[in-house]
Structure 1
Amino acid sequence: MYDSIIYDIHGFLISVEGPANKIFLEEYGWAKVNKELKCIDVDLEVKVYLGNSNLPTKPPGSFKGMLLPFREGEKTLWYEKGCPLLNLLRFCEAFMYWPDKALLHAGSVAKNGKAYVFTGGGNVGKTSIVLNLLRDGYEYLSDDWLLVGDGKAYSIPKPIHIFDYNLKSRDIARSALGLKRLYYTPLFKMLELGRKLAPHRYLRFAFETVKPMFRIDLRRINSRAKIADSADIVKVFYLERSDLNYVEVRDDMNAEELARRMAYVNMYEWFFFFREYYRYVYLYDVRNSRVEGRLEHDFNIFHNVFRKTKLKRVILPTSFNPVNVKVNSILDLE
């Protein structure tokens, strides 16, 4: 038998048993509930599988797997000891569901109870902008996934995900990696050079995928940073990259268009989850209306949020690094 820990993520309750708590405490320790498990009805249970059957969902390269609760009404995710914990965590996060809220792929900060949201695809500058504004006294809400609903932003204060492009800032590299930056900086340069010179697309893909990603506690990067719990959304910035040589801020963002884009970004980011769901449908004849209705659900939540606030389209030059500029002035946050 393994002990279980409950996490309350803004109303979504998940109980986690066994070794998986290692990564859950790192990512969601802030949501840990100090109550007995038997007193709480949870939304998702994560349990260690001790049987002899071959569990069907195996992360790439792993001999250990999971059984996912895709059948309507199920809520127990079984996993084998030795299953890669980061993959397990990602599936658990994809199962998180709120009737009146949705996870938005965005970074966000708050000041005086007002939330400023920076959304868009990958590698557009969300994390760098958030780290920049924390130095100006803004409070942290998220840098990757933000919970939104009914005009509010709810904090998801997980460790910050630092990628190679974030480390181009010396301040971030020094805070996040310390002396290790002296090893990783030339490593990233070598991998990037290999990607550019590789003669085949599979080799280029290999160089890209072996780049490490770091999960760093916020206060290790900024010891004075404060974390907000929730705030009213007053501005949403949709970030894009282009070949312009200047930053352009436009007012031509439409709430319905942005909601649709970001709902599809969710589908893209959780492609692994939906692909596995439809494999279960094919193999085991399961159906789940919540999973199949996720696109519409997220769109409706986003549209309701975006239509009530100011929307800005921000076009950043491809080479622009927002870490060491006055983002507050450029975007006119206040």
Structure 2
Amino acid sequence: MDALLPLMALLDEWIADPQKVQLGFSVLLGLTIFALMIALLLLVVGLSDPLRRRLRGLEAEAVAASDGGGAAKASGSGLGQWLGPMGERLIPTEEDARNRIAQRLRRAGKRSPGALNVFYGSRLVLMVVPPLLMIVVLPFVRVPFSTSILLLVFLAIAGYLLPSFWLDKAVRHRTRQVSRGLPDALDLLVVCTEAGLGLGAAIQRVAQDLEISHPDLADELNMFSMQTRAGMDHKAALRDLEERTGVEDIGGLVTTLLQSMRFGTSIATTLRLYAVELRDKRTQKAEEMAAKVSTKMLFPLIFCIMPSFLVVALGPALLGVMAAFAGR
């Protein structure tokens, strides 16, 4: 906050001149209108292009055929139809930047073809719309000019960063849900493989059984089954599963399965050993969290419980001592 004081002082000194204030407001209003016109132009160009509409329709049909229509509905919803064309023009040209955002979207469970366009479109909307609304409201509210400028800049920066924060939160939530359901999936895989099913059939059966209890993990396993049925090699599908989820335990499982395929060992034995190892790992993690409880309880005991205990235990004695000294 101290770093903003010189900036606010400079703005207060700058707005002392009414002509400068009028000029600054005119420039700000012009820039806002220009940004709004650019956003509307991108929207109109994206929606009116028949070739792009046809390509988006074909992509939605392909995703619906491979994913049961869920991702296509998500990308073809009303909001996605408006945000997609706007974000299509804002996608960075660098391949590394596009791949990073696309990988984060995949790990968040957003695998539709237009997910990247919707992400950048929502970023543009959140950067432009809140400042515009604030400019409409400011004439009716008595706020200093310097404060209003800082507020508009803050809203624009927050609108730019908010989709990234939401995406990070979605990735963490999905990763946690997938990790939570992995031990149950391993136990079911062990049962299925020992019953005589192959790896692909066992994963497909486990995905059907986990659709209610662990839907995120079941979705990833269903994607693996569809990839193998489409002709992808098991090793490539396993590598894609590891990259798509970003879970450390799944990475270890994939490495173990690939080594088992390479050396020709039993898949059932490999899964059983890894299930035991993962169960031991979860037990150690629970014991570690339990060992931290005593240290974490130290601060509430000292700052919350101990003062009240001292008041209850020593309060009457202190009152008696004070009364005795007052009587003397």
Same fold by TM-score greater than 0.5: no
Q: TM-score range by the shorter chain?
A: under 0.3
Q: Which of the two has higher C-alpha Rg? A: 2
Which one has the bigger strand percentage? 1
Q: TM-score scaled by structure 2?
A: 0.23
- The answer to which structure, 1 or 2, has the higher relative contact order (CA under 8 A, 6+ apart) is 1
